Amino acid sequence: MSDPYTLYTILEAPRITEKATHCQEEGNQVVFDVLRSANKAQIKAAVEKMFDVKVIGVQTVNVKGKIKRFGRTMGRRKDWKKAVVRLEAGQTIDFFQTK
Tens of pLDDT, residues 42-67: 999 999 999 999 999 999 999 999 99
Nearby residues of 34 by Cβ (< 8 Å), 6 or more positions away: 10, 11, 12, 43, 60, 81, 82, 83
pTM for the full model? 0.85
Domain architecture of the chain: domains with CATH: 7-87 (3.30.70.330)
Convert 71-82 into a string of H (helix), E (strand) and C (coil).
CCEEEECCCEEE
Number of neighbouring beta carbons within 10 Å of residue 85: 27
Give tens-digit pLDDT for 76-88: 999 999 999 999 9
